[in-house]
Structure 1
Amino acid sequence: MKSIVTRFSNCRAGNFGILTAILLVPMIGAAGVAIDFSHAVEIRTQLYNAADAAAVGAVAEKSAAVSQAMTMSGDGSIAVGESEARNLFSGQMSGEALSLPVSLTATVTRNLNRVTSNITFRASVPTTFMSIFGKNSVDVSGTASAEFLTASFMDFYILIDNTPSMGVGATPADVAKMQANTSDSCAFACHDIASGNKSYYNLAKSLGVTMRIDTVRQATQQLTTTAKTTRVASNQFRMGVYTFGTKAEDAKLTTISNPTYDLDQVRSYTDAVDLMTIPNQGYNNDQTTSFDSALTQMNTIITAPGTGSTSADPQKVLFFVADGVGDSYKPSICTKKTTGGRCQEPIDTSFCAPLKARGIKIAVLYTTYLPLPTNSWYNTWISPFQSQISTKMAECASPGLYFEVTPTDGIADAMKTLFLRVVRQPRLTS
């Protein structure tokens, strides 16, 4: 008997079948759990995608929440954004997820120039196999958030150089046409009142010559359209336009349009921008371009800059368009040699510094000063510092806000590019 018991205990035949039978139930259970969990993860992924879409869409640039945030006088929640987020979340649902009872929390708030959305979801996904073990559902949850940095509120003060040098032909072809039709081969359409209809200004008009001042005027008007299409709210940008004066004998900063949100009005008023008149050729020894005076006066006009977070606290931007060559009476502080006190020089950047010191941004559009190699005046007085003009104009500008446009480039496109640099389109992070 002892031998029989020993042989029975040592026998291994049939173990695999017995073990398989013993393990079959937990193996099937594990497979079922895996299937149920995989299904729950699939649903959770769909809910996450919906939450991401809702969070981003609720604070998109053209969303109702962002539009409302731009008009709010202070910080706080934005109910219209929360409603929009819920609708966006529901719109992403499909299949089984449509019938699931989803607990959804959506908040959209403004804090200064940040609009933030937060989406939290929670749902119970029914199980199939796990219900055998008494587990009837799997809970899934998650959060998604997005942030929109609203474009700042800004006041633009557009200073246009309209002095006689801006009467030069806008392109090499315009310059050549003027030179071919004037007895002294002059490329400038001087607005000489004494000459009447025989002035070079009127000659340019009759020849169909486009002057630099014409292209700048048109570009400024197009800029108002760019600002309208770029702004998120009607009170985001104000614009004002200024020139160096309408006539040389009373040259002083002239307001074409005071800063206003009515950009159509600015466009209309800018029709008045034209070349400064002179009473006669050689008036005041041609000392009609004082950047020093214009920048000093602008510094008194532009009020204290703000953070740009609200329309009541806008950033201030001087948008300066010029060819970069000053010509004024400065017998003692001219940076170049003078003749009888007449100072012809690149812009003196010491007059840009006070504005920047106050926190005012200076965006400079340098309309390249055209070399006139056949002109003796140019060769004597301007050519020696021609290479320094662009350098000084760039030095006047705030970091990153300098742009040079040559005669063959489009001034309107250049002004638009510079404007968008200043505005710094807002970005979305999620």
Structure 2
Amino acid sequence: MKKSLWNLIKDRSGNFGVVTAILLPVCIGTASFGIDFANALQVKADLQGAADAAALSAASAMAKESELTEEEAKKKASDYLAAQFAAFIDPDEKDANTASDIAKKTQSEVVSTGTEATGKTYSVTVRSSFDVPTSGLASIFVPSIRVSVEASASSSTERHGAFSMYLVLDRSASMIEYTNTLKAACSGCWLTYVSKIEALKSASDALIDTIKDYDPDSRYTRLGAVSYNEVMQPPTPLDWNTDATLSYVNALTPFGFTNSGEAMQTAYKAVTDPMEDSYHKNKNGQDKPRKFIIFMTDGVNNILGADTKTKAACTAAKADGVEIFTVALMAPDAGKALLSACATDNDHYFDAQNAVDLVAAFQEIAAKASQKGTLMTN
């Protein structure tokens, strides 16, 4: 009996079967874990994509919808993530992870900085997790693998940059001349062309319409205007009421010679008056508004010393940070040379050959001055 027991212990036959029986479940479990782990990585990637989209959507909504509260933005992010991610969930996984469950596991944080005047920035952070069920023998030891993600996005509202703008406009006799732009046809009318002064009025109307679209409540922009022939006419001062400037321009009639010197000096002093900064500070909270001058002519100065005064005013204005846009309307070379010298740079100089060009130039100037836009980062 003892010998039989000893022989049994010493017998090595069948070891492979025993080892296999022991290791096979381990191997199967390991393989199962490997498959489940790969699946979890794919789910994590899908969840990360949904979280990125949710954060971006909430941040964008905060910037575009002024009445959207932070709590509403957080819910929007959670619901959006759940809806986006639901498409990636396998049928077997939906039982334990409904869209409602995903939304509940999603946490969002919203941080806003800035003011309405300077532009607000909304930073949204979204965190979420998802339980990926395991399979086979792996499920006995680890029923599920939790994957977690975090995504951030920021969005900035339109920045209403405050500015003061002064128009320096030529109303000399040559402004009665016609451009090569035909007027719109009308019943019983002869073909007629748009005069330079009519083109100037249309261009000023387009400029002010563009500014009104940017600042409909007249909180960030102040306009003024001065006209000149051989002398400067009484100006309309800088004011929040842009219609006053348009009325001033529409009342202009062509007459006399050309002398832009005093008008440019007046515009420079007006936009750099320290009170301009105070007006903006009290109205919109911005104490460093941008300053612009639009200097337009169709001819050349023919009064002694006018060019010298004009250039001196332009030089002083640019040294004080004033941006000068200049517009030549079918002007001769000498007039273009003065305007080019006065402009802040080449991008601030416009050479209009007809009424259409003049309107387009004034619209572009208004757009450059407004500089509104939305920034989105992720």
Equivalent residue number for residue 50 of structure 2? 46
- Matched-pair contact (CA < 8 Å) for 1:237–1:261: yes
Task: State yes or no: 1:218 paired with 2:233.
Answer: no
Amino acid at match of 1:349: K
| Residue 74 (structure 2) aligned to one of 75, 86, 89 | 86
Task: State yes or no: 1:144 paired with 2:153.
Answer: yes
Q: CA deviation at 1:98?
A: 4.5
Q: CA deviation at 1:54?
A: 1.6
Alignment of 1:6-45 (within 5 A): 20-45=24-49
Give ranges in structure 2 of 5+ residues lacking alignment.
Answer: 1-8, 87-97, 184-189
Q: Could you tell me the percent identity over the aligned residues?
A: 18
Q: CA deviation at 1:223?
A: 1.6
SS at match of 1:325: coil
SS at match of 1:30: helix
Q: Distance in 1 between matches of 2:232 and 2:165?
A: 20
Q: Distance in 2 between matches of 1:81 and 1:411?
A: 44
Q: Distance in 1 between matches of 2:19 and 2:79?
A: 57
Residues 239 and 140 of structure 1, relative CA distance in 2, 3 Å threshold: same
Q: Distance in 2 between matches of 1:235 and 1:86?
A: 31
| Residue 179 (structure 2) aligned to one of 162, 170, 181 | 170
Q: Deviations over 1:362-410 (max 9, x none)?
A: 111221216xxxxxxxxxxxxxxx2x53243122111332211112643
| Residue 263 (structure 1) aligned to one of 242, 262, 270 | 242
Equivalent residue number for residue 302 of structure 2? 327
| Residue 367 (structure 2) aligned to one of 420, 423, 426 | 420
- Matched-pair contact (CA < 8 Å) for 1:148–1:429: no
Q: Which 10-residue stretch deviates more, 115-124 or 30-39?
A: 30-39
Larger RCO, structure (CA 8 Å, separation 6 or more): 2
Q: TM-score, normalised by structure 2?
A: 0.75
Q: Distance in 2 between matches of 1:244 and 1:84?
A: 56
Q: Deviations over 1:240-275 (max 9, x none)?
A: 222116xx6xx32322x4333333444344321222
- Matched-pair contact (CA < 8 Å) for 2:168–2:225: yes
Residues 395 and 6 of structure 1, relative CA distance in 2, 3 Å threshold: farther
Q: CA deviation at 1:148?
A: 4.6
Give ranges in structure 1 of 5+ residues lacking alignment.
Answer: 66-79, 175-205, 279-287, 336-346, 371-385
Alignment of 1:137-286 (within 5 A): 137-148=146-157, 150-171=159-180, 208-231=192-215, 234-244=218-228, 251-255=231-235, 257-276=236-255, 278=256
Q: Distance in 1 between matches of 2:63 and 2:289?
A: 22
Alignment of 1:124-143 (within 5 A): 124-129=129-134, 132=140, 133=142, 135=144, 137-143=146-152
Equivalent residue number for residue 68 of structure 1? none
Q: Deviations over 1:198-233 (max 9, x none)?
A: xxxxxxxx9955321111012102221111113375
Q: Distance in 2 between matches of 1:52 and 1:25?
A: 40
Q: Distance in 2 between matches of 1:406 and 1:84?
A: 53
Equivalent residue number for residue 352 of structure 2? 405
Q: CA deviation at 1:34?
A: 2.6
Task: State yes or no: 1:353 paired with 2:300.
Answer: no
Alignment of 1:266-345 (within 5 A): 266-276=245-255, 278=256, 288-302=257-271, 303-304=273-274, 310-311=285-286, 313-330=288-305
Q: CA deviation at 1:20?
A: 4.6
Q: Distance in 2 between matches of 1:334 and 1:157?
A: 19
Q: CA deviation at 1:131?
A: 6.1
Q: TM-score, normalised by structure 1?
A: 0.67
Equivalent residue number for residue 342 of structure 1? none
Q: Distance in 2 between matches of 1:83 and 1:215?
A: 52
Residues 218 and 310 of structure 1, relative CA distance in 2, 3 Å threshold: same
Q: Deviations over 1:317-351 (max 9, x none)?
A: 11222125111134xx977xxxxxxxxxxx95233
Amino acid at match of 2:200: V
Aligned Cα RMSD in Å? 3.8
- Matched-pair contact (CA < 8 Å) for 2:261–2:307: no
Amino acid at match of 2:129: S
Amino acid at match of 2:197: I
Q: Deviations over 1:279-336 (max 9, x none)?
A: xxxxxxxxx3212221112222222475998455422211222125111134xx977x
Amino acid at match of 1:30: G
| Residue 390 (structure 1) aligned to one of 319, 333, 336 | 336
SS at match of 1:221: helix
Residues 30 and 212 of structure 1, relative CA distance in 2, 3 Å threshold: same
